Amino acid sequence: MILKILNLIRRKFWSTEKYARYLGVKIGKSCDIQNVNFGSEPYLIEIGDDVQITDGTKIFTHGGAKVLRKKHPNMDFFGKVKIGDNVYIGNNCLIMPGVTIGSNVIVAAGSVVTKSIPDNVVVGGNSAKILSSLNDFEVKILKYNVGTKGMSKSQKKLYLLSLTDSEFIKK
């Protein structure tokens, strides 16, 4: 009971990254790990350098064995999850067991990643599919670069509110 209370306190007061490291997730340098669920075998997850994983993402390392346990009582299976360097994973993504996400990858919000992803691509959807190369995405998105990185919140707000509609992404 005391261990459960200590774990609850750790989860509540530690950063997600610190708690994940405590659970055994291998995390590289300069990462931004937000409110992420690492499942029941977090020690099977490896995250590279310069990775941002945003709120609501869940990373699974197992699943589905229960259905086979009447026939195979000791049934269990697992898959390690590896995330390369310089990766952005949008809100509420699901990363399934055994998936490797390459380096220089953008995973769109809400994606369900059921298969490994190569380097230098943008993926999205359910099941996630390659939407473009990272180079094509860069060419397309550069015209919308407003250069606000490093501004204070108030500076950014004033600047963004001064822009014309043509300077924002439209879908």
CATH code for the domain in which residue 59 is found: 2.160.10.10
Catalytic positions: 62
Give the pLDDT score at 66: 86
Task: Tell me the whole-structure pTM to 2 decimals.
Answer: 0.88
Question: If pLDDT is split at 50, 70 and 90, which confidence band does 64 have?
Answer: confident
Name the pLDDT band for 12 (thresholds 50, 70, 90). confident
Residue 160 vs residues 90, 147, 149: alpha-carbon distances, Å? 22, 10, 12
Domain hosting 47: range is 15-133
- Residue 67 belongs to some domain of the structure: yes
pLDDT tens by residue, 83-104: 999 999 999 999 999 999 999 9
Which residues, other chains included, contact 139 with Cβ-Cβ below 8 Å and sequence gap of 6+? none
**Total structural domains in the chain?**
1
**If you write DSSP's letter for every residue of 75-98 in order, what string do you get?**
---B--EEE-SSEEE-TT-EE-TT
Asked if residue 167 belongs to a domain, the reply is no
pLDDT at 35: 92
110 domain residue, yes or no? yes
